[in-house]
Amino acid sequence: MSTLKLKNGRKVIAECDHTEVKKMVKLVKDLNAIRNDDSKWEFGEVTVGNNIEVRLIAHSFLDEIIMNSEIKEKNLTMFPDCFETLTLWNHMDNGDKVKTHRFWTRGF
C-alpha cells in the first residue's frame, strides 16, 4: 500500500494513505487558493495568543488550513514556510519514492 506525503521543502506536513486521496486534494486546493490570492500577500496585524504580531496575512490562513486538516502531521504546530517549495510524493511499500507534483516553487 502506498502513502501520499505533502512536503514543504523537506519537511512532511501532511500524510495519507492512497485510499484517502480526496482529503489530500481538498487540502492542496485550499492551500493553492491562498497562495494564488494577491490580496493575502500583504502585511497585517495578527493576534497570536496574547501577542499582536505583524506578519503576512497569507501565513495566518495557511496555518489555519493545515491545522484544521485531518491528514496533517501529528507534531506539526504551524505551516512551516509559505515561500518554500510545496510538493506531493508517493512513497511505495518497497521503499521507492516518486515526486508526483510540484504545486509551487521556492520564492514568490
What are the residues facing 53 on neighbouring strands? 46
| Bridge pairing between strands 43-48 and 51-56 | antiparallel
Q: Domain extents for the chain?
A: 3-104
pLDDT per residue rounded down to tens, the chain (108 residues): 789 999 999 999 999 998 999 999 999 899 889 888 988 888 988 777 888 888 888 888 888 899 899 998 988 888 888 888 999 999 998 989 999 999 888 876
CA separation for the pair 28, 33 (Å, rounded)? 9
Q: In this structure, how many other beta carbons lie within 10 angstroms of the beta carbon of residue 79?
A: 23
pTM: 0.82
Question: Cα–Cα distance between 60 and 35 in angstroms, integer?
Answer: 12
